[in-house]
């Protein structure tokens, strides 16, 4: 995936990082997930709970009262935007609204001063660990396999995917356009722009709630940032790209050149400067959205997660080896929005996500990395209750659905607290998945709606209590517990 020159620069960066770690112990935690999986919410909740002494009984350093203090510091990478923690928390607490989704890479340094659990270690120094949290869109990971793909391979795979039954309708305008264009014709920039816009529109439509598809590279077409309108983002796959050279100056030749520029300008720097420097990784998965959209969306999520996990550099390395080559030694796959289900379905949600990532997790385990799958909610927006309905005792969740959310004919106003019976996830997840022939059994309907963040209680002294969660402490223990002993 990386050239010799890339690997040399990665080794140089890692050597600089490790030298700094000798004086200032640091762990780089990567946080990723596909759109609306909850990356911003997870980071905000993690930081808020550590800064404000949240309820984290399964996080050993906290449960044993070994944390002296936790505080934010200046981040180490001056060229990376800061994760706007304060803005996100203000929106969650004051407006009771979820923060905007991750659109680009950002970083935040949280430093924890703690007492070691070992009396021997406490004799020599007090513990101090900086956690460099690196937030980046999961869609960017789907770009990493492009590094090894030619324009012909990219075109063939993208067009074949667009012609699949579940995508053919939303990709119709794009497919008609590429079928009508001659790649060998002279370059015409307005045509290139129309192709690129049609391709982007198809990718955007594929990500909508009713389809919830996941395998949508190139990722920057969905979140272009400051590269919007640049030649590196003005290309599209071509149906006649079969490997033979395009005539010089032709539309095909220029789009192929721009595709290669995309890899050089966008994909490789991300891999080299950020992704290859991670120590720990959490992958957040919104399986409920895919389940709502149906088996094709679940299958597409399975492919996307496999591609993402394949990009990680998992494994254990010796102290000497880690000076030059960093490895991700712990990977947590977290099924988010567990608060949208009654706890009776949490184990089933874990089982579904474990099946989604089964093959990739086995490869990571084989390489020596520790992996774990959990169902969690970094911020719990609901509480559980039971109601009687026609003699049946139903487990429900109670919260304030966001304005515009619907169940059947009922549309919620964003103000009224409501009890919702979401249904039960199946004991056997098979009906949620397609078989080898692309067929799936009809699963029982599940009612998932989005809820507003909770209203936090205040103590008599006016202090706001920490954000409630489901298993955030278990996630922290797996990701960071061993570094805080």
Distances in Å between the Cα of 331 and the Cα atoms of 108, 113, 327 are 20, 24, 11
Query: What is the rounded average pLDDT of the residues 409-420?
Result: 92
d(CA 22, CA 133): 19
Asked if 187 contacts 181 with a C-beta cutoff of 8 angstroms, the reply is no
For residue 474, what pLDDT is reported? 98
For residue 319, what pLDDT is reported? 42
Q: Pairing relation of β-strands 370-375 and 280-285?
A: unpaired
What pTM was computed for the model?
Answer: 0.86
Asked if 286 contacts 334 with a C-beta cutoff of 8 angstroms, the reply is no
Give exposure, 181-220, as e/b (b: 16+ Cβ within 10 Å).
bebeeebeeebbeebbbbbbebbebbbeeebbbbbbbbbb
- Please give the share of the chain, as a percent, with pLDDT higher than 90: 50
Q: Average model confidence (pLDDT) for the chain?
A: 85
Query: What is the rounded average pLDDT of the residues 74-88?
Result: 92
Lowest mean pLDDT among 197-201, 224-228, 319-323: 319-323
- Per-residue pLDDT of 259-318, as tens digits, reads 999 999 999 888 888 888 899 999 999 999 888 888 888 888 888 888 888 777 766 554
* 387 bridge partner residues: 394
Band of pLDDT at residue 437, cut at 50, 70 and 90: low
Closest CA to 422 of 441, 397, 403: 397
Query: What is the rounded average pLDDT of the residues 437-450?
Result: 68
DSSP state, 132?
E
User: What are the extents of the domains in the chain?
Assistant: 4-136+274-380+471-484, 148-265
pLDDT at 335 over 60: yes
Asked if 173 contacts 236 with a C-beta cutoff of 8 angstroms, the reply is no
First to last CA, the chain: 36
* 131 bridge partner residues: 27, 110
Record: fold of 4-136+274-380+471-484:
Rossmann fold (3.40.50)
Written as six digits, the tokens of 208 are 């909508």
DSSP assignment of 208-239 equals STTT-------GGGTS-GGGTTSGGG-----T
For residue 443, what pLDDT is reported? 59
Written as six digits, the tokens of 325 are 């080559």
* 418 bridge partner residues: 399
Asked if 382 contacts 458 with a C-beta cutoff of 8 angstroms, the reply is no
Query: What is the rounded average pLDDT of the residues 36-52?
Result: 94
Asked if 210 contacts 167 with a C-beta cutoff of 8 angstroms, the reply is no
Cβ neighbors of 236 (< 8 A, separation 6 or more) are 174, 178, 192, 195, 196, 198, 199, 255
Higher-confidence residue of 52 and 366: namely 52
pLDDT at 213 over 70: yes
For residue 323, what pLDDT is reported? 41
d(CA 361, CA 185): 46
For residue 320, what pLDDT is reported? 40
d(CA 468, CA 378): 8
- Please give the share of the chain, as a percent, with pLDDT higher than 70: 85
Q: Pairing relation of β-strands 383-389 and 392-399?
A: antiparallel
For residue 340, what pLDDT is reported? 93
Written as six digits, the tokens of 362 are 């086995």
- Per-residue pLDDT of 130-168, as tens digits, reads 999 999 888 888 888 888 889 999 999 999 999 988 898
């Amino acid at each position: 995936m990386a050239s010799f020159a890339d690997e040399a620069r990665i080794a140089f960066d890692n050597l600089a990082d490790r030298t700094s770690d000798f004086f200032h112990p640091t762990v780089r935690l990567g946080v990723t997930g596909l759109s609306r999986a909850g990356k911003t919410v997870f980071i905000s909740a993690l930081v808020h709970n550590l800064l404000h002494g949240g309820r984290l009984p399964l996080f050993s350093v906290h449960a044993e009262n070994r944390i002296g203090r936790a505080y934010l510091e200046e981040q180490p990478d001056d060229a990376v935007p800061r994760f706007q923690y304060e803005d996100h928390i203000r929106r969650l607490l004051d407006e009771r609204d979820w923060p905007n989704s991750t659109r680009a890479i950002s970083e935040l340094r949280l430093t924890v001063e703690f007492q070691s659990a070992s009396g021997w270690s406490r004799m020599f120094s007090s513990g101090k660990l900086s956690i460099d949290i690196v937030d980046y869109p999961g869609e960017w990971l789907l770009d990493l396999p492009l590094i090894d793909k030619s324009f012909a391979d990219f075109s063939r795979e993208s067009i074949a995917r667009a012609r699949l039954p579940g995508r053919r309708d939303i990709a119709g305008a794009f497919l008609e356009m590429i079928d009508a264009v001659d790649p060998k014709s002279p370059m015409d920039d307005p045509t290139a722009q129309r192709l690129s816009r049609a391709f982007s529109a198809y990718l955007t439509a594929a990500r909508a709630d009713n389809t919830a598809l996941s395998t949508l590279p190139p990722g920057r077409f969905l979140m272009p940032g400051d590269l919007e309108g640049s030649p590196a983002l003005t290309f599209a796959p071509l149906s006649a790209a079969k490997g033979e050279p395009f005539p010089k100056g032709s539309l095909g030749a220029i789009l192929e050149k721009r595709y290669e520029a995309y890899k050089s300008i966008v994909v490789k720097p991300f891999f080299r400067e950020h992704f290859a420097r991670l120590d720990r990784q959490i992958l957040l998965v919104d399986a409920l959205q895919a389940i709502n959209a149906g088996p094709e969306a679940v299958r597409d999520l399975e492919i996307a997660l496999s591609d993402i996990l394949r990009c990680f550099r998992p494994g254990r390395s010796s102290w000497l080896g880690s000076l030059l080559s960093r490895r991700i030694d712990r990977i947590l796959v977290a099924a988010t929005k567990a608060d949208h289900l009654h706890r009776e379905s949490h184990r089933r949600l874990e089982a579904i996500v474990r099946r989604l990532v089964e093959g990739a997790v086995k490869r990571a385990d084989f390489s020596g990395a520790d992996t774990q799958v959990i169902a969690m909610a970094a911020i719990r927006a609901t509480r559980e209750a039971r109601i009687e309905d026609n003699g049946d005792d139903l487990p429900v969740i109670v919260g304030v659905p966001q304005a515009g959310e619907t169940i059947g004919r009922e549309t919620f106003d964003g103000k009224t607290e409501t009890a919702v019976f979401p249904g039960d996830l199946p004991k056997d997840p098979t009906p949620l998945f397609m078989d080898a022939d692309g067929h799936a059994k009809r699963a029982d309907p599940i009612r998932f709606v989005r809820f507003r963040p909770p209203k936090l209680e205040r103590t008599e002294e006016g202090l706001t209590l920490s954000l409630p969660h489901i298993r955030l402490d278990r996630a922290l223990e797996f990701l960071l517990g061993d570094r805080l002993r």
